[in-house]
Amino acid sequence: MMAPRRIALLGAESTGKSTLAAALARRYGTLWVPEYLREFVEVNARVPREDDQGGIARTQRERELLLARDARVRDFLFVDTTPLMTAVYSRIYWGRVPPDLLALEAAHDYAWTLVAAPDLPWVPDGLQRESEHVRQRVHAQLLAVLDERRIPFTLLTGELEERLRQVEALIGGPPVVPAQAGT
């Protein structure tokens, strides 16, 4: 069995990445990798500190690689954020990226990189989301890092259905399942 093409979904807070990843997985009959940061915040009841960043990125990547080997994964694996986003947040909050996190950021090896535009309404979400102002700063920093690293990306805009159409235009439509005899 061929390894699935991994598709990175990046973006600032409150841009619809998780909703989009789940919808894409349903549409393409595959799995998606949830953002580990959300679990980290819920389990620890706090936002990450600088020394947590490397572990968060490693866990995210490990979970992604584990799911990529899952027999239920079809042609694609949709990845709700990558170590690159963890590094972007390190730049925003601490003005630097530790060497181990830089190495994980540099290993950005996805078939496609999709960036969710901050054009949906900002919605507070407890500890995980800070403000519309921070969302815009993170978005600008993300685009700068992608440009600096020469990582091609597609900016997804609009509501969920529009974003799904944009992804389908990029990667192709979901597979057609042949009708069963006698159905």
**What's the pLDDT tens digit per position in 48-101?**
999 999 999 999 999 999 999 998 898 999 999 999 999 999 999 999 999 999
- The residue type of 19 is T
pLDDT band at residue 183 using 50, 70 and 90 as cut-offs? very low
C-alpha angle 132-111-17 in degrees, rounded to nearest 5 = 25
Ranges of each domain in the chain: 5-169
The HSE-up count of residue 50 (CA atoms within 13 Å, CB side) is: 10
What's the distance, CA 181 to chain centroid? 39
What's the distance, CA 107 to chain centroid? 15
* Least confident residue range of 20-34, 94-108, 166-180: 166-180
The pair of structure tokens assigned to 176 is: 């057609």
What's the distance, CA 23 to chain centroid? 13
pTM value? 0.91
Selected from 3.30.470.30, 3.40.50.300, 3.40.50.80, 3.40.50.720, the CATH number assigned to the domain covering 5-169 reads: 3.40.50.300
Task: State the Cα–Cα distance between residues 117 and 62, nearest whole angstrom.
Answer: 26
Task: State the Cα–Cα distance between residues 58 and 106, nearest whole angstrom.
Answer: 13
Task: State the Cα–Cα distance between residues 77 and 65, nearest whole angstrom.
Answer: 10
